[in-house]
Protein backbone atom coordinates (compact mmCIF):
# COMPACT_ATOMS: atom_id res chain seq x y z
CA UNK A 1 0.00 0.00 0.00
CA UNK A 2 2.79 2.38 0.93
CA UNK A 3 4.54 1.71 -2.35
CA UNK A 4 1.34 2.40 -4.28
CA UNK A 5 0.84 5.76 -2.50
CA UNK A 6 4.45 6.68 -3.13
CA UNK A 7 4.10 5.80 -6.80
CA UNK A 8 0.88 7.84 -7.05
CA UNK A 9 2.56 10.88 -5.40
CA UNK A 10 5.51 10.62 -7.76
CA UNK A 11 3.13 10.41 -10.71
CA UNK A 12 1.28 13.56 -9.58
CA UNK A 13 4.55 15.40 -8.98
CA UNK A 14 5.81 14.36 -12.41
CA UNK A 15 2.58 15.60 -14.02
CA UNK A 16 2.93 18.99 -12.31
CA UNK A 17 6.55 19.19 -13.41
CA UNK A 18 5.60 18.42 -16.97
CA UNK A 19 2.79 21.01 -16.86
CA UNK A 20 5.13 23.70 -15.50
CA UNK A 21 7.77 22.80 -18.09
CA UNK A 22 5.20 23.07 -20.88
CA UNK A 23 4.07 26.50 -19.63
CA UNK A 24 7.65 27.76 -19.42
CA UNK A 25 8.41 26.40 -22.89
CA UNK A 26 5.30 28.10 -24.27
CA UNK A 27 6.33 31.43 -22.75
CA UNK A 28 9.86 31.11 -24.11
CA UNK A 29 8.52 30.18 -27.53
CA UNK A 30 6.07 33.08 -27.63
CA UNK A 31 8.36 35.75 -26.20
CA UNK A 32 10.27 36.42 -29.44
CA UNK A 33 6.98 36.60 -31.31
CA UNK A 34 5.49 38.96 -28.74
CA UNK A 35 8.60 41.13 -28.91
CA UNK A 36 8.42 41.09 -32.70
CA UNK A 37 4.75 42.07 -32.63
CA UNK A 38 5.60 44.98 -30.36
CA UNK A 39 8.59 45.99 -32.47
CA UNK A 40 6.63 46.33 -35.69
CA UNK A 41 4.44 49.02 -34.12
CA UNK A 42 7.49 51.23 -33.60
CA UNK A 43 10.05 52.91 -35.77
CA UNK A 44 13.11 55.08 -35.26
CA UNK A 45 14.58 58.38 -36.38
CA UNK A 46 18.21 59.14 -37.07
CA UNK A 47 20.28 61.67 -38.92
CA UNK A 48 22.75 64.53 -38.65
CA UNK A 49 22.60 68.10 -37.37
CA UNK A 50 24.73 70.81 -38.91
CA UNK A 51 25.39 74.48 -38.30
CA UNK A 52 23.83 77.09 -40.59
CA UNK A 53 26.48 76.49 -43.26
CA UNK A 54 25.08 72.98 -43.71
CA UNK A 55 28.59 71.48 -43.44
CA UNK A 56 29.88 71.88 -39.87
CA UNK A 57 28.60 69.08 -37.58
CA UNK A 58 26.86 70.26 -34.42
CA UNK A 59 27.81 68.31 -31.30
CA UNK A 60 25.73 68.13 -28.11
CA UNK A 61 22.35 68.92 -29.69
CA UNK A 62 19.18 67.06 -28.62
CA UNK A 63 16.32 66.37 -31.05
CA UNK A 64 12.85 66.37 -29.51
CA UNK A 65 9.71 65.15 -31.26
CA UNK A 66 6.04 65.32 -30.20
CA UNK A 67 3.24 63.14 -31.55
CA UNK A 68 0.61 65.52 -32.94
CA UNK A 69 -2.23 63.18 -31.92
CA UNK A 70 -1.50 62.08 -28.35
CA UNK A 71 1.30 64.49 -27.38
CA UNK A 72 3.88 61.78 -26.58
CA UNK A 73 7.40 63.24 -26.52
CA UNK A 74 10.62 61.45 -27.46
CA UNK A 75 14.17 62.76 -27.09
CA UNK A 76 17.42 61.73 -28.72
CA UNK A 77 20.75 61.36 -27.00
CA UNK A 78 23.12 64.27 -27.56
CA UNK A 79 24.53 64.43 -31.08
CA UNK A 80 28.12 63.21 -31.36
CA UNK A 81 31.16 64.87 -32.90
CA UNK A 82 29.81 64.01 -36.37
CA UNK A 83 26.46 65.62 -35.55
CA UNK A 84 24.74 62.21 -35.54
CA UNK A 85 21.65 61.55 -33.42
CA UNK A 86 19.11 58.74 -33.04
CA UNK A 87 15.74 58.08 -31.37
CA UNK A 88 14.46 54.51 -31.09
CA UNK A 89 11.15 52.96 -30.05
CA UNK A 90 8.97 55.65 -31.64
CA UNK A 91 5.27 54.98 -32.09
CA UNK A 92 4.20 55.21 -35.74
CA UNK A 93 2.71 58.61 -36.53
CA UNK A 94 3.26 62.27 -37.33
CA UNK A 95 5.55 64.41 -35.19
CA UNK A 96 6.42 68.05 -34.73
CA UNK A 97 10.10 68.49 -33.93
CA UNK A 98 12.60 70.81 -32.35
CA UNK A 99 16.31 70.85 -31.57
CA UNK A 100 17.83 72.03 -28.29
CA UNK A 101 21.39 73.33 -28.46
CA UNK A 102 23.79 75.09 -26.11
CA UNK A 103 22.84 78.46 -27.62
CA UNK A 104 19.07 77.97 -27.77
CA UNK A 105 16.17 76.09 -29.33
CA UNK A 106 15.27 75.66 -33.00
CA UNK A 107 11.91 74.61 -34.43
CA UNK A 108 11.59 72.22 -37.37
CA UNK A 109 9.26 73.78 -39.94
CA UNK A 110 7.80 70.54 -41.35
CA UNK A 111 6.29 67.47 -39.74
CA UNK A 112 8.24 64.23 -39.49
CA UNK A 113 6.53 60.95 -40.29
CA UNK A 114 7.75 57.78 -38.59
CA UNK A 115 6.69 54.39 -39.96
CA UNK A 116 6.59 51.14 -37.99
CA UNK A 117 9.56 48.88 -38.60
CA UNK A 118 11.50 51.57 -40.47
CA UNK A 119 14.20 54.11 -39.67
CA UNK A 120 13.47 57.61 -40.93
CA UNK A 121 16.61 59.57 -41.75
CA UNK A 122 16.96 63.31 -41.99
CA UNK A 123 19.83 65.81 -42.09
CA UNK A 124 19.15 69.30 -40.75
CA UNK A 125 20.85 72.69 -40.77
CA UNK A 126 20.09 75.28 -38.09
CA UNK A 127 19.19 78.77 -39.29
CA UNK A 128 19.04 81.68 -36.78
CA UNK A 129 16.02 83.98 -37.02
CA UNK A 130 16.43 86.66 -39.65
CA UNK A 131 19.17 84.77 -41.49
CA UNK A 132 18.18 84.29 -45.13
CA UNK A 133 21.31 82.46 -46.26
CA UNK A 134 19.38 79.17 -46.36
CA UNK A 135 15.83 79.31 -47.72
CA UNK A 136 13.21 77.13 -46.08
CA UNK A 137 11.93 74.54 -48.58
CA UNK A 138 8.27 75.51 -48.35
CA UNK A 139 8.29 79.21 -47.52
CA UNK A 140 6.85 80.23 -50.91
CA UNK A 141 3.95 77.76 -50.77
CA UNK A 142 0.51 79.40 -51.08
CA UNK A 143 -2.23 78.97 -48.46
CA UNK A 144 -5.02 76.41 -48.78
CA UNK A 145 -8.28 77.94 -49.95
CA UNK A 146 -10.97 75.70 -48.41
CA UNK A 147 -14.32 77.27 -49.27
CA UNK A 148 -14.40 80.70 -47.65
CA UNK A 149 -11.61 79.75 -45.25
CA UNK A 150 -7.92 80.37 -45.88
CA UNK A 151 -5.61 77.92 -44.09
CA UNK A 152 -1.88 78.39 -43.70
CA UNK A 153 0.06 75.61 -45.47
CA UNK A 154 1.88 74.64 -42.27
CA UNK A 155 -1.47 73.80 -40.65
CA UNK A 156 -2.47 70.89 -42.91
CA UNK A 157 -0.85 67.72 -44.27
CA UNK A 158 -1.71 65.30 -47.06
CA UNK A 159 -3.90 62.37 -45.94
CA UNK A 160 -5.15 60.50 -49.03
CA UNK A 161 -7.61 60.49 -51.92
CA UNK A 162 -11.31 59.93 -52.49
CA UNK A 163 -11.89 56.54 -54.13
CA UNK A 164 -15.69 56.52 -54.00
CA UNK A 165 -18.62 58.84 -53.31
CA UNK A 166 -22.16 57.62 -52.57
CA UNK A 167 -24.68 60.45 -53.12
CA UNK A 168 -27.49 58.42 -51.51
CA UNK A 169 -25.72 58.01 -48.16
CA UNK A 170 -23.54 61.14 -48.59
CA UNK A 171 -20.46 59.14 -47.70
CA UNK A 172 -16.99 59.29 -49.21
CA UNK A 173 -14.48 56.46 -49.15
CA UNK A 174 -10.99 57.79 -48.54
CA UNK A 175 -7.90 55.72 -49.16
CA UNK A 176 -5.46 56.90 -46.49
CA UNK A 177 -1.98 57.03 -47.99
CA UNK A 178 -0.15 58.62 -45.07
CA UNK A 179 -0.79 59.28 -41.40
CA UNK A 180 -4.18 58.72 -39.81
CA UNK A 181 -7.47 60.44 -38.98
CA UNK A 182 -9.79 60.15 -36.01
CA UNK A 183 -13.14 61.38 -34.75
CA UNK A 184 -13.15 65.15 -34.31
CA UNK A 185 -10.57 65.83 -37.02
CA UNK A 186 -11.21 68.34 -39.77
CA UNK A 187 -10.65 67.22 -43.35
CA UNK A 188 -10.04 69.44 -46.38
CA UNK A 189 -11.28 68.19 -49.76
CA UNK A 190 -9.69 69.62 -52.90
CA UNK A 191 -10.35 68.69 -56.54
CA UNK A 192 -11.29 70.09 -59.92
CA UNK A 193 -14.85 70.77 -58.75
CA UNK A 194 -14.41 70.13 -55.02
CA UNK A 195 -13.48 72.66 -52.37
CA UNK A 196 -14.82 72.24 -48.82
CA UNK A 197 -13.93 71.24 -45.26
CA UNK A 198 -15.63 68.57 -43.18
CA UNK A 199 -15.58 67.69 -39.49
CA UNK A 200 -15.24 63.94 -38.95
CA UNK A 201 -18.26 62.83 -36.91
CA UNK A 202 -18.27 59.16 -37.86
CA UNK A 203 -15.80 56.67 -39.35
CA UNK A 204 -16.65 53.25 -40.74
CA UNK A 205 -14.09 50.66 -41.81
CA UNK A 206 -15.58 47.61 -43.53
CA UNK A 207 -19.03 48.57 -42.17
CA UNK A 208 -17.75 48.74 -38.58
CA UNK A 209 -17.84 52.03 -36.67
CA UNK A 210 -14.37 52.95 -35.39
CA UNK A 211 -12.72 55.90 -33.69
CA UNK A 212 -9.75 56.21 -36.05
CA UNK A 213 -8.37 54.95 -39.35
CA UNK A 214 -4.73 54.61 -40.38
CA UNK A 215 -2.63 54.45 -43.56
CA UNK A 216 -3.63 51.56 -45.79
CA UNK A 217 -7.28 51.59 -44.72
CA UNK A 218 -10.24 52.95 -46.71
CA UNK A 219 -12.74 54.42 -44.25
CA UNK A 220 -16.19 55.80 -45.10
CA UNK A 221 -16.93 59.30 -43.82
CA UNK A 222 -20.15 61.32 -43.91
CA UNK A 223 -19.83 64.61 -45.78
CA UNK A 224 -22.12 67.57 -46.29
CA UNK A 225 -21.10 68.21 -49.90
CA UNK A 226 -20.49 66.07 -52.95
CA UNK A 227 -17.01 64.82 -53.80
CA UNK A 228 -15.41 63.16 -56.81
CA UNK A 229 -13.12 60.18 -57.20
CA UNK A 230 -9.53 61.40 -57.21
CA UNK A 231 -10.12 64.42 -54.97
CA UNK A 232 -7.21 65.13 -52.64
CA UNK A 233 -7.88 64.96 -48.90
CA UNK A 234 -5.83 66.86 -46.35
CA UNK A 235 -5.85 66.69 -42.55
CA UNK A 236 -5.96 70.01 -40.80
CA UNK A 237 -3.71 70.07 -37.76
CA UNK A 238 -5.43 70.87 -34.49
CA UNK A 239 -2.61 73.04 -33.25
CA UNK A 240 0.50 74.74 -34.54
CA UNK A 241 3.09 72.12 -35.25
CA UNK A 242 6.07 73.99 -33.84
CA UNK A 243 7.70 72.37 -30.82
CA UNK A 244 9.11 75.42 -29.02
CA UNK A 245 7.19 78.64 -28.32
CA UNK A 246 10.25 80.90 -28.20
CA UNK A 247 12.88 79.49 -30.60
CA UNK A 248 15.88 81.45 -31.78
CA UNK A 249 15.68 79.96 -35.25
CA UNK A 250 14.52 77.17 -37.53
CA UNK A 251 15.88 73.82 -38.68
CA UNK A 252 15.72 73.35 -42.42
CA UNK A 253 16.01 70.05 -44.30
CA UNK A 254 19.23 69.29 -46.15
CA UNK A 255 18.39 65.69 -47.03
CA UNK A 256 15.83 63.06 -46.07
CA UNK A 257 14.90 59.55 -47.04
CA UNK A 258 11.58 59.00 -48.83
CA UNK A 259 8.81 58.80 -46.31
CA UNK A 260 10.31 61.13 -43.72
CA UNK A 261 9.21 64.72 -44.13
CA UNK A 262 5.65 65.90 -44.57
CA UNK A 263 5.93 68.99 -46.70
CA UNK A 264 3.22 71.62 -46.91
CA UNK A 265 0.35 71.26 -49.33
CA UNK A 266 0.77 72.31 -52.96
CA UNK A 267 -2.29 73.59 -54.74
CA UNK A 268 -1.48 73.42 -58.44
CA UNK A 269 -3.47 71.28 -60.87
CA UNK A 270 -0.38 69.09 -61.30
CA UNK A 271 -0.15 68.24 -57.61
CA UNK A 272 1.29 64.76 -58.07
CA UNK A 273 3.97 65.38 -55.46
CA UNK A 274 1.71 66.49 -52.64
CA UNK A 275 4.13 65.52 -49.90
CA UNK A 276 7.71 64.41 -49.67
CA UNK A 277 6.42 61.67 -47.38
CA UNK A 278 4.10 60.38 -50.10
CA UNK A 279 5.47 57.42 -52.06
Q: Is the pLDDT of residue 275 over 80?
A: no
Least confident of 33-47, 97-111, 118-132, 246-260: 33-47
pLDDT digits (tens, 9 = 90+) for 75-130: 999 999 999 999 999 988 878 889 999 988 988 877 788 888 888 888 888 888 65
Least confident of 22-36, 89-103, 211-225: 22-36
How far is residue 8's CA from residue 90's CA, in Å, rounded to a whole number? 54
For 213, residues 6+ apart whose C-beta sits below 8 A from its C-beta are 176, 180, 181, 182, 203, 205, 219
| E strand map for 129-216 | 144-146, 149-151, 156-166, 171-176, 180-182, 186-190, 195-199, 203-205, 208-210, 212-214
| pLDDT number for residue 218 | 94
Q: Is the pLDDT of residue 18 over 70?
A: no
Has this prediction a pTM greater than 0.85?
Answer: no
Fold of 144-236: Elongation Factor Tu (Ef-tu); domain 3 (2.40.30)
| pLDDT number for residue 222 | 95
Contact 247, 106 (CB under 8 A): yes
Q: Place 19 in a pLDDT band, splitting at 50, 70 and 90.
A: low
| pLDDT number for residue 26 | 53
For 85, residues 6+ apart whose C-beta sits below 8 A from its C-beta are 46, 47, 48, 49, 61, 62, 63, 76, 77, 78, 79
| pLDDT number for residue 199 | 92
Domain boundaries, the chain: 42-140+240-262, 144-236
The CATH number that domain 42-140+240-262 falls under is 2.60.40.1120
pLDDT digits (tens, 9 = 90+) for 187-215: 999 888 888 999 999 999 988 999 888 88
Cα 221 to its chain centre, rounded Å, is: 21
Amino acid sequence: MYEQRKFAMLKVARSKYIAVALIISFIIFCSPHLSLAQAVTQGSLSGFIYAEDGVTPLEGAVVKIRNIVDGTIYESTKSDSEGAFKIEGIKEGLYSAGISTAVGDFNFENLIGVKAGETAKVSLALVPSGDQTVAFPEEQAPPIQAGSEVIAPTEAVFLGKVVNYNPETQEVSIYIEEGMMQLGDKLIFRGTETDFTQNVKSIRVELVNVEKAIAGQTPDVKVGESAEVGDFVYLRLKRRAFFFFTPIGMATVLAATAGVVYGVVKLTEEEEEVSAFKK
